[in-house]
Structure 1
């Protein structure tokens, strides 16, 4: 079974703690990733608002440099991947696979040339916004303004489609979500977002958005942040399953994956302390009589399908 986690902030976290990617006190390290025979991990370069517009690109480059430093140190265990074939090759060699993403299109600083350069650096997915507006679109924290994609944002989506990059719609405003869906020529991902029908947090998707992800052929990753799992802010396995089942009831089993948001969240569900515990989710699905095929789709096959379609 292939396990894909579509979002983590581990590289940024180890930059802050001074630890290494192989073994650390974070939610994810290579030692624990190796517990899964075939593991693809998306590593995000998160451009925090504290760095401001003037330094967004520099911060993204710093994180990407750290990513490659750590991958090179641990090249016996993990391989940076640019496409579906690279991922398959990593698995064939008994290594974990890594895919580089950017969280926050602020990193482009309004330049399509920056998008193309990040592509050449190995970035294959971009979460267009974080919570706040940038040159591409409004984020969910600014959606009261009714703003969606800007003209520059439309060019970004078109260029990402042309290059073969995953357009990630987590964090974007609702208007921005629909604007992207109107123009994208490729399946999208919503790497780490849940269902608003279960938890009313603004970061979660409404039912009509979930249905649109299905229509588009995209995949959304279940986020393990308790605040996004239920309205009390304290969560457990039952809450994770509740989101999976709600999304499956609307969009079927082909539209769901995992985007845990490990090392980007300060709270985790009871019993899920890191990447090593994700097997518990799949075991619980098996206990609930989900078929092996359904579990494999959620664990990674759905994201792998979109990766093959978009990245080639």
Structure 2
């Protein structure tokens, strides 16, 4: 616990803003303060990438409106809790927030449904604070196919997707390859010139589901300087029957063996509380098993279990610090702080 609390902990993926919005709509605006802030503090989280994932009802006509409303909610949340959290737009701002004892929030898109085919909106979303973007979720956008289409379509990026990737790299938006279909992953690896993240993925070589990455993709992501955040909170990705912290470390070890310790991080994907509160249980994504055990790492307060397992397995302290946050911080500082070619405003 001492090591965990002293290290900089970066969580690449927590869908908490969906649950905050759920309770906002039910006149319970204190949910973040009452539940998530204590959880984040108990888990030692210093940097939280906050994805905006659109529910199916908003993934077409209402996509941009819903995206902007949730972006605004994140900014309001930061204003309401300015002593504890800060929305960060650059690597320097992340470092300053952490040094001040605040949780640095980085706004992300999990699926670029709100962009449609209007690539100019990438720049608009950058203006309002978005700094991490994935192009698709399980289904299809105008930019790319999501991983849920791998059994029927292995499409590469569309022309608009290629343009959007180039725009992100120029602006200093971190590309997120998680959820991208296999054809899109291959295409991004051909085109990318900057480090990027797989914010919440795991190893196909351990758990055979379409959302996980095979070893060759892991090597290529590392070659570009990228990092894979292990989706510790999703049983289907880790081990449906035994989703323990030790099993999470199996995935960490596999990535370290394949690509090196500098290319693995944490992207737990804390979504269980949202599913339980909103739907009364899990909504099973396409092509995944219908039953699974309860993840040992289910909330941010469980994150020290991963550190404990890493120590027990003999990882060096310096390597543990890399996994907990230093690796992802390197990518955020690199891409967010120094846009390629500079921003045009």
Q: TM-score, normalised by structure 2?
A: 0.85
Give the C-alpha shift of residue 37 in structure 1.
5.8
Aligned to 2:143: 136
Aligned to 1:184: 192
Give structure 1 stretches of 5+ with no counterpart.
Answer: none
Paired residues of 2:227 and 2:265 also in contact (CA < 8 A): yes
Give the C-alpha shift of residue 220 in structure 1.
0.7
Take 1:244 and 1:94, find their aligned partners in 2: how far apart are those partners?
Answer: 28
- For structure 1, which segment, 260-269 or 296-305, has the greater mean C-alpha deviation from structure 2 after superposition? 260-269
Aligned to 1:10: 16
Classify the secondary structure of the residue corresponding to 1:145: coil
Aligned partner (choices 69, 74, 78) of residue 71 of structure 1 = 78
Classify the secondary structure of the residue corresponding to 2:228: strand
Classify the secondary structure of the residue corresponding to 2:62: helix
Instruction: List structure 1 segments (4+ residues) > 6 angstroms apart after TM superposition.
Output: none
Aligned partner (choices 295, 306, 318) of residue 281 of structure 1 = 306
Closer/same/farther in 2, CA of residues 287 and 52 from structure 1, 3 Å limit? closer
- 2:133 is equivalent to residue 126 of structure 1: yes
Paired residues of 2:246 and 2:306 also in contact (CA < 8 A): no
Take 1:146 and 1:297, find their aligned partners in 2: how far apart are those partners?
Answer: 33
Take 1:248 and 1:263, find their aligned partners in 2: how far apart are those partners?
Answer: 26
Give the C-alpha shift of residue 48 in structure 1.
2.2
Paired residues of 1:166 and 1:189 also in contact (CA < 8 A): yes
Give the C-alpha shift of residue 280 in structure 1.
1.2
Counting only pairs closer than 5 Å after superposition, residues 1-312 of structure 1 correspond to structure 2 as: 1-18=7-24, 19=28, 20-24=31-35, 29-35=36-42, 39-143=46-150, 144-224=152-232, 225-230=234-239, 232-263=240-271, 266=275, 269-312=294-337
Give structure 2 stretches of 5+ with no counterpart.
Answer: 1-6, 276-281, 283-292, 338-345
Task: Give the CA RMSD over aligned residues.
Answer: 1.6
Count of residues paired in the alignment: 307
Q: TM-score, normalised by structure 1?
A: 0.94
